């Protein structure tokens, strides 16, 4: 579908909704020449909240035992 820029300006919200629901494309023209294209976005996959970061952190070595270094905060006592 092609539409002049002036008409697009007056019907913008209506046309955006039509593109979203119909999954169609609109070419916006100015003086008969295409200048822009309004296309629907690809549906994004909704990732679950729990387990979202699974696999993003790796453990290397012992993370519980002290490392042997004295902390500056401990020396201030």
Asked if pLDDT for residue 72 goes beyond 90, the answer is: no
15 lies in some domain: yes
Q: Is 20 among the domain residues?
A: yes
Total count of domains within the chain = 1
Q: What is the pLDDT of residues 13-58, one digit of tens each?
A: 999 999 999 999 999 999 999 999 999 998 877 878 888 888 888 8
pLDDT of residue 77 exceeding 80: no
Evaluate whether residue 68 is within a structural domain: no
pTM beyond cutoff 0.85: no
The tokens describing 18, both together, are 């039509």
Can you give the residue range of the structural domain that contains 21? 1-41
CATH number, domain containing residue 33: 3.40.1620
Is there a domain that residue 71 lies in? no
Strand ordering across the sheet containing 33-38: 2-4, 26-30, 33-38
Cite the DSSP H helix spans in 1-77.
Answer: 5-22, 72-75
């Amino acid at each position: 579908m092609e539409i002049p820029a002036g008409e697009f300006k007056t019907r913008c919200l209506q046309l955006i909704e039509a593109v979203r629901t119909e999954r169609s494309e609109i070419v916006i023209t100015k003086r008969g020449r295409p200048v822009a294209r309004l296309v629907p976005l690809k549906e994004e996959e909704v990732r679950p909240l729990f387990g979202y970061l699974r696999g993003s952190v790796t453990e290397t070595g012992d993370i519980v035992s002290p490392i042997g270094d004295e902390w500056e905060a401990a020396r201030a006592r």
